[in-house]
Amino acid sequence: MEDADETPAVRLPKAACPLCGRPVDPRYRPFCSRTCADRDLGHWLSGRYRIPTDETPASESDEF
């Protein structure tokens, strides 16, 4: 009798996506998917920093 005492995989700590609560994907830690990671990044950036984009807020009052 041979007992294969191999560990199937590295036991990752139970982590859930902070946004949707789904199991975290190691590739997108600490999020479950790129969607959530992207979403959070967007929130984070828009909340803390200003992203330099070509889209400038059209100031309608300036056209007057």
Annotated binding site for Zn(2+): 17, 20, 32, 36
Looking at the DSSP bridge assignments, the partners of residue 16 are: 23
Does 17 engage in binding with Zn ion (CB under 5 A)? yes
Nearer residue to Zn ion within complex by CB, 38 or 45: 38
Amino acid at the residue 33: S
- Enter the tokens of residue 12: 């990752």
Q: Which C-beta is closer to Zn ion: that of 35 or that of 46?
A: 35
Residues between 35 and 64 with contacts to Zn ion, criterion CB under 5 A: 36
Q: What SS3 state is found at 42?
A: helix
Give the Cα separation of 33 and 30 in Å (integer). Answer: 9
Contacts to Zn ion by CB under 5 A: 17, 19-20, 22, 32, 36
